[in-house]
């Protein structure tokens, strides 16, 4: 590990981001362009996020299953908008076992089609509904410009797929799952998000309506952190997912799909990190507390006493918090402090000869880098409370940052000025008439896209920021990842 300082966030955000990902050992570049290796520390973070999502999916009645990686090309082509949206980024297998394949196989970019095909086999009656399925999987999209965690050719995610008897049920499901994403993003990842509907041009290829949660990153750009789609009957019709209702009438199902990916790890890094490196929200941090013992070398007695206290700390906290000890003698305390700050551990416990003497420890919190000295007797009470406090603080801090960088505008000249130049100055809330033309013009002229039409809207209607015509709703505009 090098001694070199990270590139400051303010100087070059993407250099900072790449350095943090690699030096914190979250991930590394793979030998194939656009592919990455998720290292144990990064994977542990993903597993914690998975647990929180999975728990909520199961609590709302969903069951996990697994569908194949390969999809017949013809499946993808069945839904018109779907193939249009995905064909540019498909990885296609043309040979197998040394022979050309009769029909090329697509490596799944998402699984609506193959799951739709299976739903057709499984669903016959209204009694079979709803079908509530989730799968944890990898998917492949041949992206032009990859970026660690945010956009890689292969990524990990969960994709939920459900089938319902009525439009209302499907709509309710899509919103229910979006709310779970809001909950996980805000309460686990400490990332404030704006929930809303995607515009027609930004919605999922083949969906009736797409819902999204949008977050603001540390460079004020927007990141889509999760999506949920009401697919209407589009896929049901393409794959003939039909059931007989109570009146013996054949009906098409209403389906949904929803996903959250390893991109969330990128969101966590870019929302909370600082010039020292990563800052992980306690609830998802693989290591919540790192203990750094300190002693003078050659003083065996002192070392024994310090390590004895460390054992006591482990006994007191080991059951309730994810705790590790870094007792490496080849690194000075200062080196270890920096190392664990780079890796984003929320709380550090420093314990050395002075502390032993006074029966105390030093707690250093990662978010504010503040140090507090407490009695060892208070550990069991103070450490979990501190973790909670950090979790809250991270969320509040990120929310404040987002709100400070969100502006409501009604004048297009001001809008343009706000979006001008490289980088981003934040989110704009503005009335928008809903037309594709205005949206496209705005994008062309400012590089800002509609991120979502938030559920929370002002009471009164207004005038479109671009064309000035009547507009029922406001949209969030921003430069996005």
What is the smallest separation between the CB atom of 48 and RNA, expressed in angstroms?
18
Q: At what angle do helices 40-59 and 167-183 cross, to 10 degrees?
A: 140
Residue 355, Cα to own-chain centre: how many angstroms? 40
Cα–Cα dist 386/317, whole Å: 13
**Side-by-side strand order, sheet with 360-365:** 323-325, 289-293, 347-351, 360-365, 371-375
Of 115 and 225, which CB lies nearer to RNA in the complex structure? 225
Query: In the complex, which residues of this chain contact RNA (CB under 7 A)?
Result: 1-3, 5-6, 14-15, 18, 29, 32-34, 85, 88-89, 141, 143-148, 150-153, 155, 157, 204, 224-227, 259, 261-263, 276, 294-298, 329-335, 337-339, 341-342, 350-356, 362, 364, 369, 371, 422, 447, 480-481
Cα–Cα dist 374/152, whole Å: 45
Token duo for residue 455: 């559920």
What is the smallest separation between the CB atom of 59 and RNA, expressed in angstroms?
23
What is the smallest separation between the CB atom of 256 and RNA, expressed in angstroms?
15
Of 148 and 433, which CB lies nearer to RNA in the complex structure? 148
What is the smallest separation between the CB atom of 224 and RNA, expressed in angstroms?
4
Query: Which H helix or E strand runs over 403?
Result: helix 379-404
Of 29 and 136, which CB lies nearer to RNA in the complex structure? 29
What is the smallest separation between the CB atom of 130 and RNA, expressed in angstroms?
24
Query: Which H helix or E strand runs over 405?
Result: none
Of 62 and 141, which CB lies nearer to RNA in the complex structure? 141
The sign of the CA dihedral 272, 276, 277, 283 is negative
DSSP string of 194-231, one letter each residue? EEEE--TTTS-TT-SEEEEEEEE-TTS-EEEEEEEEEE
Neighbouring CB atoms inside 10 A of 147's CB total 17
Of 126 and 142, which CB lies nearer to RNA in the complex structure? 142
Give the closest residue to 253 by CA, choosing from 159, 132, 126, 113: 126
What is the smallest separation between the CB atom of 287 and RNA, expressed in angstroms?
16
Of 280 and 356, which CB lies nearer to RNA in the complex structure? 356
What is the smallest separation between the CB atom of 310 and RNA, expressed in angstroms?
12
Of 114 and 306, which CB lies nearer to RNA in the complex structure? 306
Strand runs (DSSP E) across 108-221, as ranges? 131-140, 154-164, 194-197, 209-216
What is the smallest separation between the CB atom of 94 and RNA, expressed in angstroms?
18
Cα–Cα dist 431/460, whole Å: 11
Of 147 and 472, which CB lies nearer to RNA in the complex structure? 147
Residue 451, Cα to own-chain centre: how many angstroms? 16
């Amino acid at each position: 590990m090098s001694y070199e300082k990270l590139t400051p966030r303010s100087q070059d955000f993407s250099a900072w981001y790449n350095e943090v990902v690699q030096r914190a050992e979250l991930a590394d570049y793979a030998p194939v362009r656009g592919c990455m290796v998720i290292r144990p520390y990064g994977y542990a973070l993903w597993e914690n996020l998975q647990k929180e999502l999975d728990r909520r999916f199961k609590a709302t009645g969903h069951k996990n299953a697994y569908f194949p990686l390969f999809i017949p090309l013809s499946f993808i082509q069945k839904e018109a908008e779907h193939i249009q949206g995905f064909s540019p980024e498909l990885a296609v297998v043309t040979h197998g076992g040394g022979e050309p394949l009769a029909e090329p196989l697509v490596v799944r970019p998402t699984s609506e089609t193959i799951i739709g095909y299976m739903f057709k086999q499984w669903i016959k009656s209204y009694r079979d509904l709803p079908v509530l399925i989730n799968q944890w999987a990898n998917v492949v999209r041949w992206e032009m410009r990859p970026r660690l965690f945010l956009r890689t050719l292969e990524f990990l995610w969960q994709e939920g797929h459900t089938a319902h008897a009525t439009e209302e049920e499907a709509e309710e499901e899509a919103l229910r799952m979006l709310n779970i994403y809001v909950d996980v993003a805000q309460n686990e990842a400490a990332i404030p998000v704006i929930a809303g509907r995607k515009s027609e041009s930004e919605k999922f290829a083949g969906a009736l309506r797409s819902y999204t949660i949008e977050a603001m990153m540390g460079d004020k750009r927007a990141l889509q952190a999760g999506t949920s789609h009401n697919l209407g009957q589009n896929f049901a019709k393409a794959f003939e997912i039909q059931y007989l209702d109570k009146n013996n009438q054949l009906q098409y199902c209403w389906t949904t799909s929803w996903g959250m990916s390893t991109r969330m790890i990128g969101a966590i890094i870019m929302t909370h990190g600082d010039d020292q490196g990563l800052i992980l929200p306690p609830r998802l941090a693989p290591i919540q507390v790192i203990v750094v013992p300190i002693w003078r070398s050659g003083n065996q007695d002192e070392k024994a006493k310090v390590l004895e206290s460390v054992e006591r700390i482990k006994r007191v906290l080991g059951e309730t918090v994810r705790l590790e000890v870094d007792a490496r003698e080849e690194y000075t305390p200062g080196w270890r402090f920096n190392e664990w700050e780079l890796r984003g551990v929320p709380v550090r416990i420093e314990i050395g000869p002075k502390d032993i003497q006074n029966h105390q420890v030093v707690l250093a919190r990662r978010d504010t880098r503040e140090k507090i000295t407490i009695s060892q007797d208070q550990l069991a009470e103070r450490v979990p409370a501190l973790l909670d406090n950090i979790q809250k603080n991270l969320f509040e801090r990120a929310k404040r940052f987002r709100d400070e960088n969100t502006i409501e505008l009604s004048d297009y000249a001001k809008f343009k000025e706000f979006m001008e130049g490289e980088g981003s100055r934040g989110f704009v809330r503005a009335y928008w008439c809903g037309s594709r033309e205005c949206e496209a013009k705005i994008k062309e002229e400012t590089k800002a896209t509609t991120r979502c039409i938030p559920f929370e809207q002002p009471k009164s209607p207004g005038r479109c920021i671009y064309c000035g015509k009547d507009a029922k709703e406001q949209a969030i505009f921003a430069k996005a990842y």
